[in-house]
């Protein structure tokens, strides 16, 4: 019986690496399916459907082989157990029969042996299954534990006081930030914004503009320095209470897989239909919604792509109107709109943001000439600051050079 227990333990332990490899193959296959579905337009446009089918088939075959090998090893273990049980049972019966012939044992002892052997082997099999499950769950728990031990990008500080809005004055105080702890994306950045001012942050692609917005929205905490809003360090106030006054429109528009009404009202579930419709009219999307089969009950989002990029962006703008935030972050908020709609949207945004502290990221410098302040970022550092008039008055301004380059650019020659 001890040999049977040892055999079970050794067999289950030997299966652990194979089970881990099979689980890894399963995750690899699932990730490939998700990635292919998310990028189905790219796959189709590049004529790579057959390639992705082949890749999926290869990964599925690897997973199938892993399952087959795992099943085969399990069957071998079961066969070894059965052989050990039969051999042991025959040996015990042979020994007891000899005692019966010598009158050293009786039939009652023989019956006792049969009952004991049946119960004992059943217990050993159950223990083997339980041991295999414990080993597997232990490995899964180790993976989960490694995830839970990762440091969050933002320290929630549950004991922090609530954020108290006092107008929306913002100060970047010698702020530096690095994603990986080595290369600084933001370098000793300092500037102040008065309450209610509109500020544009401009610079070349990769200069750190979007990172500044991620820090402002507290998706990350700075590596050094601090961000003060109304004199309060964002790292020392409640995250939810701060984000309650913050409204964001990013260039990557994300919609929930739900109805238009639910998407627009997502920041404020108790928003009335009149409020939702008014916000959609302000975002120049109401007429488009009314042409849909289910109008405001039409489901959008997910992988279906039921609306165009510009329509998605206007829905996000409508969501901003419903939220009615005190501080607004606009990251290429009109990048997916045509020229006419963009002009109308900026006119509405100028009215909406009046009296609200507003940060704007845009590559179209013609849209920010009336803001209160323009900050030019290069390689994570502030190089210029001032109004549009002040910056263009400097003949060597990089802002002026960018403005001239945009005005004189030709798409086709």
343-381 per-position pLDDT tens digit: 777 887 888 888 899 999 888 887 888 889 999 998 888
- Average pLDDT value over all residues in the chain: 80
pLDDT of residue 413: 42
Tell me how many domains the chain contains.
2
Query: Would you say residue 393 lies in a domain?
Result: yes
Q: Residue 228 is encoded by which pair of tokens?
A: 């003060």
Q: How far apart, in whole angstroms, are the C-alpha atoms of residue 96 and residue 91? A: 9
| Res. 229 pLDDT band, cuts 50 70 90 | very high
372-394 average pLDDT score: 88
Residue, of 338 and 164, whose pLDDT is higher: 164
Among 148, 179, 196, identify where a domain stops: 148
User: Which phi and psi (to 5°) does residue 397 adopt?
Assistant: -70, 135
- Name the band, by pLDDT with cuts 50, 70 and 90, for residue 409: low
Same domain? 227 vs 258: yes
Both 276 and 390 in a single domain?
yes
pTM of the model: 0.72
Residue-range definition of the domain harbouring residue 307: 170-408
Residue 347 belongs to some domain of the structure: yes
Percentage, residues of the chain above pLDDT 70:
85
Q: 3-class DSSP state for residue 383?
A: strand
Stronger pLDDT, 124 or 205, i.e. the higher one: 205
State whether 116 and 179 are in the same domain. no
* pLDDT the model gives residue 192: 92
Calpha distance 298→307 (Å, rounded): 10
Please check whether residues 249 and 108 belong to one and the same domain.
no
DSSP letters for 277-315: HHHHHHTT-HHHHHTSTTGGG-EE-TTS--S-HHHHHHH
Do 253 and 312 meet the contact criterion of CB atoms below 8 Å apart? yes
Asked whether the beta carbons of 29 and 146 are under 8 A apart, the reply is no
- Strand 327-331: give its sheet, edge to edge: 246-249, 327-331, 357-361, 198-202, 373-378, 381-386
State the pLDDT at residue 198: 92
Instruction: Look at residue 384 and tell me if it is in a domain.
Output: yes
All residues at 6 or more sequence positions from 248 whose CB lies less than 8 Å from its CB, including other chains: 213, 217, 320, 328, 329, 331
Residues 143 and 184 in one domain: no
pLDDT at res. 141:
79
Q: What is the pLDDT of residue 156?
A: 63
Give me the phi and psi of 16, to 5 degrees please: -60, -50
125: nearest Cα among 65, 82, 91: 82
Instruction: Give residue for tokens 């990221």.
Output: 361
* Residue 12: band (very low, low, confident or very high) from pLDDT cuts 50, 70, 90: low
Band the pLDDT of 11: cuts 50, 70, 90.
low
pLDDT value of position 395:
76
Q: What is the CATH number of the domain that holds 385?
A: 3.40.50.300
Encoding tokens for residue 217? Answer: 């929205």
Q: What are 277-329's pLDDT values in tens digits?
A: 998 988 888 988 898 888 888 888 765 456 777 788 888 888 888 888 999 99
292 lies in the same domain as 322: yes
Asked if 94 and 187 sit in the same domain, the reply is no
Please check whether residues 225 and 188 belong to one and the same domain: yes
Largest CA distance in the chain: 119
175 and 115 in a common domain: no
């Amino acid at each position: 019986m001890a040999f049977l227990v040892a055999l079970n333990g050794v067999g289950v332990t030997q299966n652990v690496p194979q089970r881990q490899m099979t689980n890894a193959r399963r995750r690899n296959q699932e990730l490939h399916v998700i990635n292919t579905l998310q990028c189905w337009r790219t796959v189709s446009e590049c004529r790579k459907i057959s390639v992705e089918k082949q890749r999926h088939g290869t990964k599925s075959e690897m997973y199938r082989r892993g399952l087959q090998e795992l099943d085969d090893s399990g069957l071998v273990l079961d066969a070894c157990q059965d052989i050990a049980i039969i051999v042991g049972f025959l040996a015990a019966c042979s020994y007891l029969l000899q005692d019966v012939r010598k009158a050293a044992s009786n039939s009652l002892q023989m019956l006792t042996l049969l009952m004991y052997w049946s119960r004992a082997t059943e217990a050993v099999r159950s223990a083997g299954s339980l041991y295999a499950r414990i080993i597997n769950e232990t490995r899964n728990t180790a993976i989960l534990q490694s995830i839970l031990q990762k440091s969050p990008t933002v320290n929630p500080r549950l004991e922090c006081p609530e954020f108290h809005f006092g107008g929306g004055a913002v100060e970047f105080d010698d702020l530096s930030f690095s994603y990986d702890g080595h290369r600084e994306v933001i370098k000793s950045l300092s500037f102040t914004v008065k309450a209610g001012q509109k500020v544009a942050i401009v610079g070349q692609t990769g200069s750190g503009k979007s990172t500044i917005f991620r820090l402002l929205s507290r998706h990350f905490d700075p590596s050094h320095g601090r961000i003060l809003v109304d004199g309060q360090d964002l790292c020392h106030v409640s995250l939810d209470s701060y984000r309650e006054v913050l409204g964001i429109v990013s260039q990557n528009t994300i919609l929930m897989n739900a109805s238009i009404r639910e998407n627009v009202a997502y920041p404020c579930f108790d928003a009335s239909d009149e409020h939702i419709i008014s916000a959609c009219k302000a975002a120049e999307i109401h007429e488009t919604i009314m042409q849909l089969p289910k109008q405001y009950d039409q489901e959008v989002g997910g992988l279906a792509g039921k609306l165009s990029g510009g329509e998605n962006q206007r829905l996000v703008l409508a969501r901003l109107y419903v939220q009615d935030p005190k501080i607004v972050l606009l990251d290429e908020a009109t990048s997916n709109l045509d020229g006419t709609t963009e002009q109308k949207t900026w006119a509405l945004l100028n009215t909406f943001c009046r009296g609200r502290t507003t940060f704007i990221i845009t590559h179209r410098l013609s849209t920010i000439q009336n803001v209160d302040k323009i900050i030019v970022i290069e390689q994570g550092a502030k190089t210029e600051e001032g109004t549009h008039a002040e910056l263009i008055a400097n003949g060597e301004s990089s802002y002026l050079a960018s403005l001239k380059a945009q005005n004189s650019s030709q798409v086709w020659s």
